[in-house]
Structure 1
Amino acid sequence: VVITVMKLIFLCHFETSFYVRDGAEVSLPCGSLIPSQDKCQYTTWNVHHVKKISAEELVAHGKISPNEFAQANAARLSVTADCSLVIKKVTAEDAGRYFCQQFKSGQRQGSDAVVYLRLTSPLCPQVRKTENVMSCLKYLNDDLRNNRNFLLLAQSNHGELDG
Protein backbone atom coordinates (compact mmCIF):
# COMPACT_ATOMS: atom_id res chain seq x y z
CA VAL A 1 0.00 0.00 0.00
CA VAL A 2 1.42 3.36 -1.03
CA ILE A 3 -0.47 6.50 -0.08
CA THR A 4 0.56 9.80 -1.63
CA VAL A 5 -0.27 13.18 -0.15
CA MET A 6 0.59 16.46 -1.84
CA LYS A 7 0.51 19.88 -0.19
CA LEU A 8 0.84 23.29 -1.81
CA ILE A 9 3.45 25.24 0.13
CA PHE A 10 3.96 28.97 -0.40
CA LEU A 11 4.13 29.98 -4.07
CA CYS A 12 3.85 26.83 -6.17
CA HIS A 13 6.31 24.83 -4.08
CA PHE A 14 5.08 21.28 -3.65
CA GLU A 15 5.81 18.85 -0.88
CA THR A 16 4.90 15.25 -1.50
CA SER A 17 4.53 12.58 1.17
CA PHE A 18 4.63 8.86 0.55
CA TYR A 19 3.34 6.49 3.24
CA VAL A 20 4.62 2.96 2.70
CA ARG A 21 4.92 -0.27 4.62
CA ASP A 22 8.18 -1.88 5.59
CA GLY A 23 9.52 -3.94 2.68
CA ALA A 24 7.64 -2.01 -0.02
CA GLU A 25 9.14 -0.42 -3.12
CA VAL A 26 8.60 3.29 -3.70
CA SER A 27 9.41 5.72 -6.50
CA LEU A 28 10.01 9.29 -5.29
CA PRO A 29 9.37 11.85 -8.05
CA CYS A 30 11.62 14.81 -8.73
CA GLY A 31 9.26 17.70 -9.43
CA SER A 32 11.82 20.33 -10.37
CA LEU A 33 13.66 18.93 -13.38
CA ILE A 34 15.81 20.79 -15.85
CA PRO A 35 14.39 19.66 -19.22
CA SER A 36 16.32 17.58 -21.76
CA GLN A 37 18.70 15.87 -19.35
CA ASP A 38 20.90 13.03 -20.51
CA LYS A 39 20.60 10.27 -17.89
CA CYS A 40 19.62 12.78 -15.19
CA GLN A 41 23.02 14.46 -15.42
CA TYR A 42 21.81 17.56 -13.54
CA THR A 43 19.97 15.66 -10.80
CA THR A 44 21.10 15.13 -7.22
CA TRP A 45 19.13 13.34 -4.49
CA ASN A 46 19.86 13.91 -0.78
CA VAL A 47 18.10 12.54 2.29
CA HIS A 48 17.77 13.84 5.82
CA HIS A 49 16.87 10.78 7.86
CA VAL A 50 14.63 11.09 10.87
CA LYS A 51 17.23 9.94 13.37
CA LYS A 52 20.28 11.65 11.88
CA ILE A 53 21.56 15.19 12.22
CA SER A 54 22.98 15.74 8.76
CA ALA A 55 21.81 14.94 5.23
CA GLU A 56 23.35 12.19 3.10
CA GLU A 57 23.89 12.37 -0.65
CA LEU A 58 22.35 9.39 -2.45
CA VAL A 59 22.58 10.40 -6.11
CA ALA A 60 24.92 12.82 -7.86
CA HIS A 61 24.60 13.64 -11.57
CA GLY A 62 22.07 10.84 -12.00
CA LYS A 63 24.30 8.10 -10.53
CA ILE A 64 24.47 6.50 -7.10
CA SER A 65 26.94 8.55 -5.09
CA PRO A 66 30.33 7.02 -4.29
CA ASN A 67 30.07 7.84 -0.57
CA GLU A 68 29.95 5.03 1.97
CA PHE A 69 26.29 5.50 2.91
CA ALA A 70 24.98 5.47 -0.66
CA GLN A 71 27.18 2.53 -1.63
CA ALA A 72 25.96 0.53 1.37
CA ASN A 73 22.41 0.94 0.00
CA ALA A 74 23.23 0.85 -3.73
CA ALA A 75 21.53 -2.51 -4.33
CA ARG A 76 18.21 -0.98 -3.19
CA LEU A 77 18.56 2.38 -4.98
CA SER A 78 18.09 3.34 -8.62
CA VAL A 79 17.19 6.36 -10.73
CA THR A 80 14.51 6.17 -13.43
CA ALA A 81 14.53 7.88 -16.84
CA ASP A 82 12.42 10.72 -15.37
CA CYS A 83 14.96 11.10 -12.51
CA SER A 84 12.71 9.61 -9.83
CA LEU A 85 14.52 7.87 -6.98
CA VAL A 86 13.46 4.23 -6.53
CA ILE A 87 13.99 2.59 -3.15
CA LYS A 88 13.43 -1.17 -2.94
CA LYS A 89 12.68 -3.03 0.29
CA VAL A 90 12.01 0.13 2.29
CA THR A 91 13.06 -0.03 5.95
CA ALA A 92 12.38 2.22 8.94
CA GLU A 93 15.85 3.71 8.44
CA ASP A 94 14.74 5.03 5.02
CA ALA A 95 12.10 7.31 6.56
CA GLY A 96 12.92 10.97 6.16
CA ARG A 97 12.93 14.06 3.98
CA TYR A 98 14.31 13.58 0.45
CA PHE A 99 15.50 16.51 -1.66
CA CYS A 100 15.79 16.41 -5.42
CA GLN A 101 18.04 19.22 -6.59
CA GLN A 102 19.14 20.38 -10.02
CA PHE A 103 22.68 21.59 -10.72
CA LYS A 104 23.97 22.92 -14.03
CA SER A 105 27.55 24.17 -14.43
CA GLY A 106 27.96 23.81 -10.67
CA GLN A 107 25.07 26.19 -9.91
CA ARG A 108 21.83 25.11 -8.24
CA GLN A 109 18.85 25.64 -10.54
CA GLY A 110 15.34 26.36 -9.26
CA SER A 111 13.95 25.17 -5.95
CA ASP A 112 14.31 21.78 -4.32
CA ALA A 113 11.63 19.15 -4.82
CA VAL A 114 10.91 17.86 -1.30
CA VAL A 115 9.52 14.37 -0.78
CA TYR A 116 8.77 12.90 2.65
CA LEU A 117 8.99 9.13 3.00
CA ARG A 118 7.10 7.80 5.99
CA LEU A 119 6.48 4.27 7.15
CA THR A 120 3.17 2.87 8.25
CA SER A 121 2.27 -0.23 10.19
CA PRO A 122 -1.02 -2.11 10.29
CA LEU A 123 -3.12 -1.21 13.32
CA CYS A 124 -5.86 -3.73 12.78
CA PRO A 125 -4.49 -6.73 10.86
CA GLN A 126 -7.41 -8.85 12.09
CA VAL A 127 -9.80 -6.93 9.79
CA ARG A 128 -10.42 -8.91 6.63
CA LYS A 129 -9.81 -6.67 3.62
CA THR A 130 -12.65 -6.51 1.11
CA GLU A 131 -13.71 -3.82 -1.31
CA ASN A 132 -15.93 -2.22 1.32
CA VAL A 133 -13.61 -2.48 4.32
CA MET A 134 -11.01 0.14 5.06
CA SER A 135 -7.57 -0.84 6.22
CA CYS A 136 -6.11 0.93 9.22
CA LEU A 137 -2.59 2.24 9.06
CA LYS A 138 -0.67 3.90 11.84
CA TYR A 139 1.82 6.45 10.65
CA LEU A 140 4.93 5.71 12.65
CA ASN A 141 6.49 8.34 14.89
CA ASP A 142 9.01 9.72 12.43
CA ASP A 143 7.64 13.16 11.63
CA LEU A 144 10.62 15.46 11.21
CA ARG A 145 8.72 18.59 12.14
CA ASN A 146 6.16 17.65 14.76
CA ASN A 147 7.31 14.32 16.22
CA ARG A 148 3.73 13.01 16.39
CA ASN A 149 1.85 9.87 15.51
CA PHE A 150 -0.90 9.96 12.90
CA LEU A 151 -3.69 7.61 12.00
CA LEU A 152 -4.38 7.12 8.30
CA LEU A 153 -7.32 5.33 6.78
CA ALA A 154 -7.18 3.97 3.28
CA GLN A 155 -9.60 1.84 1.34
CA SER A 156 -8.21 -1.61 0.73
CA ASN A 157 -8.83 -1.18 -3.01
CA HIS A 158 -6.49 1.86 -2.96
CA GLY A 159 -9.36 4.22 -3.78
CA GLU A 160 -9.88 7.66 -2.35
CA LEU A 161 -11.87 8.14 0.81
CA ASP A 162 -15.13 10.06 0.55
CA GLY A 163 -16.07 12.70 3.06
Structure 2
Amino acid sequence: MSDKCDLCLLGLIILCSLLTGTSGVNETHVFISSGEDVRLPCNNALSDCPSTTWIYNRFRHSGSVELINGGKKKKDSERHERLSLGSDCSLNIKNVTKEDPGFYICRQFVNEQKQGTDAHVYLHVLHVSSSSSSQTEISPGRSVTLSCQLYSYYGESCDRSVRSEEIHLLWVNQAGVNLTTDSRYQISSSGLCIINLITTLLKEDDNREWRCRLTLRNQNKTSVTYTVKYSDQDDSTTAVIPVHTTNSQDPSTIKTPETKVIVMIVEIAVFAAPTVILLQIICARRAGRKNSQHLEEIEMPTRLQ
Protein backbone atom coordinates (compact mmCIF):
# COMPACT_ATOMS: atom_id res chain seq x y z
CA MET A 1 0.00 0.00 0.00
CA SER A 2 2.81 2.33 0.89
CA ASP A 3 4.51 1.58 -2.44
CA LYS A 4 1.37 2.64 -4.31
CA CYS A 5 1.23 5.88 -2.32
CA ASP A 6 4.87 6.59 -3.12
CA LEU A 7 4.18 6.06 -6.83
CA CYS A 8 1.16 8.34 -6.71
CA LEU A 9 3.17 11.03 -4.93
CA LEU A 10 5.97 10.77 -7.51
CA GLY A 11 3.45 11.05 -10.33
CA LEU A 12 1.94 14.16 -8.78
CA ILE A 13 5.38 15.75 -8.42
CA ILE A 14 6.22 15.08 -12.08
CA LEU A 15 2.82 16.38 -13.24
CA CYS A 16 3.16 19.54 -11.16
CA SER A 17 6.65 20.15 -12.49
CA LEU A 18 5.39 19.86 -16.07
CA LEU A 19 2.45 22.16 -15.47
CA THR A 20 4.50 24.82 -13.70
CA GLY A 21 7.39 24.69 -16.16
CA THR A 22 10.00 23.81 -13.53
CA SER A 23 11.10 20.48 -14.98
CA GLY A 24 14.72 21.64 -15.23
CA VAL A 25 14.04 24.27 -17.94
CA ASN A 26 14.60 27.90 -16.90
CA GLU A 27 13.19 29.88 -19.82
CA THR A 28 12.44 33.59 -20.29
CA HIS A 29 11.15 35.57 -23.29
CA VAL A 30 12.17 39.23 -23.55
CA PHE A 31 10.54 41.66 -26.02
CA ILE A 32 12.21 44.98 -26.88
CA SER A 33 12.15 47.53 -29.69
CA SER A 34 15.24 48.37 -31.72
CA GLY A 35 17.33 51.27 -30.45
CA GLU A 36 16.58 50.61 -26.77
CA ASP A 37 18.73 49.06 -24.04
CA VAL A 38 17.78 45.62 -22.74
CA ARG A 39 18.58 43.46 -19.70
CA LEU A 40 18.61 39.68 -20.05
CA PRO A 41 18.16 38.00 -16.63
CA CYS A 42 20.36 35.16 -15.44
CA ASN A 43 18.01 33.25 -13.16
CA ASN A 44 20.53 30.54 -12.28
CA ALA A 45 23.30 32.93 -11.19
CA LEU A 46 25.45 32.00 -8.21
CA SER A 47 26.61 34.52 -5.68
CA ASP A 48 29.84 35.01 -7.58
CA CYS A 49 29.48 36.46 -11.14
CA PRO A 50 32.98 35.32 -12.25
CA SER A 51 31.39 31.87 -12.51
CA THR A 52 28.97 33.17 -15.18
CA THR A 53 29.23 32.46 -18.90
CA TRP A 54 26.85 33.90 -21.51
CA ILE A 55 26.44 32.08 -24.83
CA TYR A 56 24.59 33.36 -27.90
CA ASN A 57 23.02 31.46 -30.78
CA ARG A 58 21.16 33.16 -33.64
CA PHE A 59 20.10 30.07 -35.57
CA ARG A 60 19.31 26.57 -34.39
CA HIS A 61 21.91 24.95 -36.64
CA SER A 62 24.59 27.64 -36.41
CA GLY A 63 27.54 27.66 -34.04
CA SER A 64 27.32 29.25 -30.60
CA VAL A 65 29.28 32.37 -29.67
CA GLU A 66 30.63 33.13 -26.19
CA LEU A 67 29.90 36.69 -25.18
CA ILE A 68 30.91 36.46 -21.50
CA ASN A 69 33.38 33.97 -20.09
CA GLY A 70 34.23 33.80 -16.39
CA GLY A 71 32.38 37.06 -15.79
CA LYS A 72 34.46 38.94 -18.40
CA LYS A 73 33.57 40.15 -21.89
CA LYS A 74 35.12 38.43 -24.86
CA LYS A 75 37.10 41.06 -26.73
CA ASP A 76 36.62 39.36 -30.09
CA SER A 77 32.83 39.73 -29.88
CA GLU A 78 31.29 41.99 -32.54
CA ARG A 79 29.10 43.54 -29.85
CA HIS A 80 31.88 43.99 -27.30
CA GLU A 81 31.32 47.73 -26.84
CA ARG A 82 27.58 47.33 -26.29
CA LEU A 83 27.73 44.52 -23.75
CA SER A 84 28.12 44.65 -19.99
CA LEU A 85 27.51 42.33 -17.05
CA GLY A 86 25.11 43.49 -14.34
CA SER A 87 25.71 43.10 -10.60
CA ASP A 88 23.18 40.26 -10.65
CA CYS A 89 25.06 38.59 -13.55
CA SER A 90 22.43 39.71 -16.07
CA LEU A 91 23.54 40.54 -19.60
CA ASN A 92 23.00 44.17 -20.63
CA ILE A 93 22.91 45.16 -24.31
CA LYS A 94 22.91 48.81 -25.36
CA ASN A 95 21.19 50.15 -28.45
CA VAL A 96 19.62 46.87 -29.54
CA THR A 97 19.55 46.21 -33.29
CA LYS A 98 17.70 43.71 -35.47
CA GLU A 99 20.90 41.62 -35.45
CA ASP A 100 20.68 40.99 -31.67
CA PRO A 101 17.63 38.70 -31.33
CA GLY A 102 18.21 35.03 -30.73
CA PHE A 103 18.78 32.39 -28.09
CA TYR A 104 20.92 33.36 -25.07
CA ILE A 105 22.20 30.90 -22.47
CA CYS A 106 23.43 31.83 -19.00
CA ARG A 107 25.62 29.00 -17.67
CA GLN A 108 27.50 28.59 -14.39
CA PHE A 109 30.93 27.03 -13.91
CA VAL A 110 32.84 26.35 -10.70
CA ASN A 111 36.35 24.91 -11.05
CA GLU A 112 35.52 24.33 -14.74
CA GLN A 113 32.59 22.16 -13.72
CA LYS A 114 29.11 23.08 -14.97
CA GLN A 115 26.71 23.89 -12.14
CA GLY A 116 22.95 23.36 -12.16
CA THR A 117 20.71 23.92 -15.16
CA ASP A 118 21.13 26.58 -17.83
CA ALA A 119 18.99 29.73 -17.90
CA HIS A 120 17.51 30.21 -21.38
CA VAL A 121 16.57 33.69 -22.62
CA TYR A 122 14.87 34.30 -25.98
CA LEU A 123 15.31 37.88 -27.17
CA HIS A 124 12.69 39.23 -29.62
CA VAL A 125 13.30 42.61 -31.30
CA LEU A 126 10.61 44.74 -32.94
CA HIS A 127 11.94 46.93 -35.76
CA VAL A 128 10.38 49.45 -38.19
CA SER A 129 11.88 50.35 -41.58
CA SER A 130 10.72 52.94 -44.12
CA SER A 131 10.58 52.73 -47.91
CA SER A 132 11.99 56.28 -48.08
CA SER A 133 15.73 56.13 -48.61
CA SER A 134 16.39 59.84 -48.02
CA GLN A 135 14.95 62.83 -46.17
CA THR A 136 13.91 64.49 -49.45
CA GLU A 137 11.38 61.70 -49.96
CA ILE A 138 9.64 62.60 -46.69
CA SER A 139 7.41 65.39 -47.92
CA PRO A 140 3.68 66.08 -48.43
CA GLY A 141 2.14 64.28 -51.36
CA ARG A 142 4.57 61.39 -51.33
CA SER A 143 3.61 57.81 -50.53
CA VAL A 144 5.43 56.06 -47.70
CA THR A 145 5.48 52.40 -46.69
CA LEU A 146 6.40 51.45 -43.13
CA SER A 147 7.28 47.83 -42.46
CA CYS A 148 7.14 46.54 -38.88
CA GLN A 149 8.84 43.20 -38.31
CA LEU A 150 9.42 40.96 -35.32
CA TYR A 151 12.91 39.43 -35.32
CA SER A 152 13.29 36.30 -33.20
CA TYR A 153 15.34 33.14 -32.81
CA TYR A 154 15.31 31.35 -36.14
CA GLY A 155 15.01 27.90 -34.68
CA GLU A 156 11.61 27.39 -36.27
CA SER A 157 9.09 29.22 -38.40
CA CYS A 158 8.37 32.69 -37.03
CA ASP A 159 4.68 32.27 -37.82
CA ARG A 160 4.56 29.02 -35.86
CA SER A 161 6.17 30.48 -32.75
CA VAL A 162 4.07 33.64 -32.93
CA ARG A 163 0.85 31.63 -33.31
CA SER A 164 1.70 29.40 -30.35
CA GLU A 165 2.55 32.38 -28.14
CA GLU A 166 -0.53 34.38 -29.23
CA ILE A 167 1.55 37.32 -30.42
CA HIS A 168 -0.10 40.05 -32.50
CA LEU A 169 1.26 43.10 -34.35
CA LEU A 170 -0.83 46.18 -35.11
CA TRP A 171 -0.42 49.81 -36.19
CA VAL A 172 -1.93 52.52 -33.96
CA ASN A 173 -1.92 56.32 -33.94
CA GLN A 174 -0.76 58.65 -31.15
CA ALA A 175 -4.02 58.08 -29.28
CA GLY A 176 -3.63 54.29 -29.50
CA VAL A 177 -6.45 53.83 -32.01
CA ASN A 178 -6.03 50.94 -34.45
CA LEU A 179 -5.31 52.40 -37.90
CA THR A 180 -7.28 49.69 -39.66
CA THR A 181 -10.36 51.76 -38.75
CA ASP A 182 -9.12 54.68 -40.90
CA SER A 183 -9.59 54.32 -44.67
CA ARG A 184 -6.63 56.63 -45.28
CA TYR A 185 -4.24 53.82 -44.33
CA GLN A 186 -3.64 50.51 -46.08
CA ILE A 187 -2.62 47.80 -43.61
CA SER A 188 -1.28 44.50 -44.93
CA SER A 189 0.51 41.53 -43.39
CA SER A 190 3.21 39.21 -44.68
CA GLY A 191 2.61 36.29 -42.37
CA LEU A 192 2.28 36.90 -38.64
CA CYS A 193 5.66 38.53 -38.09
CA ILE A 194 5.46 41.46 -40.56
CA ILE A 195 2.80 44.16 -40.78
CA ASN A 196 2.96 47.02 -43.31
CA LEU A 197 1.42 50.49 -43.29
CA ILE A 198 1.00 52.45 -46.54
CA THR A 199 -0.25 56.04 -46.73
CA THR A 200 0.16 59.30 -48.66
CA LEU A 201 1.72 62.04 -46.55
CA LEU A 202 -0.23 65.23 -45.81
CA LYS A 203 1.04 68.63 -44.71
CA GLU A 204 -0.42 68.13 -41.26
CA ASP A 205 1.58 64.90 -40.83
CA ASP A 206 4.69 66.85 -39.79
CA ASN A 207 5.78 65.49 -36.35
CA ARG A 208 2.98 62.93 -36.44
CA GLU A 209 3.67 59.58 -34.76
CA TRP A 210 2.62 56.13 -35.89
CA ARG A 211 3.29 53.23 -33.55
CA CYS A 212 3.73 49.53 -34.25
CA ARG A 213 2.59 47.65 -31.17
CA LEU A 214 3.27 44.06 -30.11
CA THR A 215 0.85 42.32 -27.78
CA LEU A 216 1.25 38.95 -26.08
CA ARG A 217 -2.00 37.35 -24.96
CA ASN A 218 -3.69 40.77 -25.27
CA GLN A 219 -1.06 42.47 -23.11
CA ASN A 220 1.19 45.20 -24.52
CA LYS A 221 4.83 44.08 -24.53
CA THR A 222 6.68 46.64 -26.62
CA SER A 223 6.20 49.12 -29.46
CA VAL A 224 8.20 51.08 -32.01
CA THR A 225 7.32 54.68 -32.89
CA TYR A 226 7.91 56.22 -36.32
CA THR A 227 7.81 60.04 -36.37
CA VAL A 228 7.36 61.98 -39.62
CA LYS A 229 9.84 64.86 -39.95
CA TYR A 230 9.59 67.37 -42.78
CA SER A 231 12.37 69.74 -43.80
CA ASP A 232 12.27 73.24 -42.23
CA GLN A 233 12.07 74.74 -45.74
CA ASP A 234 8.70 74.98 -47.46
CA ASP A 235 7.99 73.60 -50.91
CA SER A 236 8.61 76.89 -52.75
CA THR A 237 12.00 77.34 -51.13
CA THR A 238 12.97 73.76 -51.79
CA ALA A 239 12.01 74.13 -55.46
CA VAL A 240 14.38 77.03 -56.06
CA ILE A 241 17.37 75.67 -54.17
CA PRO A 242 18.81 73.80 -57.18
CA VAL A 243 18.55 76.97 -59.30
CA HIS A 244 20.76 78.90 -56.87
CA THR A 245 23.32 76.16 -56.38
CA THR A 246 26.67 77.69 -57.39
CA ASN A 247 29.15 75.42 -55.60
CA SER A 248 30.98 74.64 -58.87
CA GLN A 249 30.98 78.27 -60.03
CA ASP A 250 33.96 80.64 -59.60
CA PRO A 251 33.02 83.09 -56.80
CA SER A 252 34.52 85.95 -58.84
CA THR A 253 31.88 85.39 -61.54
CA ILE A 254 28.91 85.48 -59.17
CA LYS A 255 27.02 88.77 -59.47
CA THR A 256 25.87 90.28 -56.20
CA PRO A 257 23.19 93.04 -56.05
CA GLU A 258 25.92 95.70 -55.66
CA THR A 259 27.84 94.57 -58.73
CA LYS A 260 24.61 94.42 -60.73
CA VAL A 261 23.94 98.13 -59.96
CA ILE A 262 27.47 99.09 -60.98
CA VAL A 263 27.22 97.13 -64.22
CA MET A 264 23.90 98.80 -65.00
CA ILE A 265 25.37 102.28 -64.49
CA VAL A 266 28.35 101.47 -66.70
CA GLU A 267 26.09 100.09 -69.42
CA ILE A 268 23.92 103.22 -69.32
CA ALA A 269 27.00 105.41 -69.50
CA VAL A 270 28.39 103.50 -72.48
CA PHE A 271 25.15 103.75 -74.43
CA ALA A 272 24.48 107.40 -73.42
CA ALA A 273 27.94 108.80 -74.19
CA PRO A 274 27.59 108.94 -78.01
CA THR A 275 24.18 110.57 -77.67
CA VAL A 276 25.56 113.23 -75.34
CA ILE A 277 28.49 113.95 -77.68
CA LEU A 278 26.15 114.21 -80.67
CA LEU A 279 23.90 116.64 -78.81
CA GLN A 280 26.91 118.73 -77.86
CA ILE A 281 27.99 118.91 -81.53
CA ILE A 282 24.50 119.91 -82.66
CA CYS A 283 24.25 122.56 -79.96
CA ALA A 284 27.68 123.88 -80.83
CA ARG A 285 26.77 124.18 -84.53
CA ARG A 286 23.50 125.93 -83.72
CA ALA A 287 25.36 128.31 -81.42
CA GLY A 288 27.89 129.05 -84.23
CA ARG A 289 25.11 129.81 -86.70
CA LYS A 290 23.44 132.22 -84.26
CA ASN A 291 26.73 134.05 -83.69
CA SER A 292 27.37 134.44 -87.43
CA GLN A 293 23.84 135.80 -87.99
CA HIS A 294 24.31 138.27 -85.14
CA LEU A 295 27.56 139.56 -86.65
CA GLU A 296 25.92 140.04 -90.05
CA GLU A 297 23.14 142.09 -88.49
CA ILE A 298 25.72 144.32 -86.81
CA GLU A 299 27.79 144.84 -89.97
CA MET A 300 24.82 145.62 -92.25
CA PRO A 301 23.98 149.10 -90.83
CA THR A 302 27.63 150.07 -91.12
CA ARG A 303 27.67 149.32 -94.82
CA LEU A 304 24.51 151.34 -95.45
CA GLN A 305 26.13 154.41 -93.98
Q: Same fold (TM over 0.5)?
A: yes
Aligned match of 1:142 in 152, 168, 185?
A: 152
Aligned match of 1:103 in 109, 120, 124?
A: 109
Q: Which runs of 5+ in 2 are unaligned?
A: 1-18, 129-147, 163-167, 169-213, 224-305
Q: Relative contact order (alpha carbons < 8 A, sep ≥ 6): 1 or 2 greater?
A: 1
Which of the two has higher C-alpha Rg? 2
Aligned match of 2:92 in 67, 86, 97?
A: 86
Partner of 2:31: 19
Give the TM-score taking structure 2 as reference length. Answer: 0.39
Change (3 A) 1:140 1:65: same
Alpha-carbon distance between aligned partners in 2 of 1:52 and 1:90, rounded to the nearest angstrom? 23
Change (3 A) 1:20 1:52: farther
Change (3 A) 1:107 1:97: same
Aligned: 1:34 with 2:40: no
Give, as a single letter, the amino acid of the residue that structure 2 aligns with 1:23.
G
Give the TM-score taking structure 1 as reference length. Answer: 0.70
Deviation of the 1:14 alpha carbon = 2.2
Deviation of the 1:147 alpha carbon = 1.6
Alpha-carbon distance between aligned partners in 1 of 2:29 and 2:39, rounded to the nearest angstrom? 11
Alpha-carbon distance between aligned partners in 2 of 1:155 and 1:111, rounded to the nearest angstrom? 30
Give, as a single letter, the amino acid of the residue that structure 2 aligns with 1:115.
V
Deviation of the 1:93 alpha carbon = 1.1
Deviation of the 1:85 alpha carbon = 0.3
Q: Which runs of 5+ in 1 are unaligned?
A: 1-6, 123-137, 159-163
User: Contact 2:54 / 2:107 at 8 angstroms: preserved in 1?
Assistant: yes
Secondary structure in structure 1 of the residue aligned to 2:50: coil
Partner of 2:226: none
Aligned length: 132
Give, as a single letter, the amino acid of the residue that structure 2 aligns with 1:24.
E
Give, as a single letter, the amino acid of the residue that structure 2 aligns with 1:88.
K
Alpha-carbon distance between aligned partners in 1 of 2:221 and 2:62, rounded to the nearest angstrom? 36
Secondary structure in structure 2 of the residue aligned to 1:113: strand
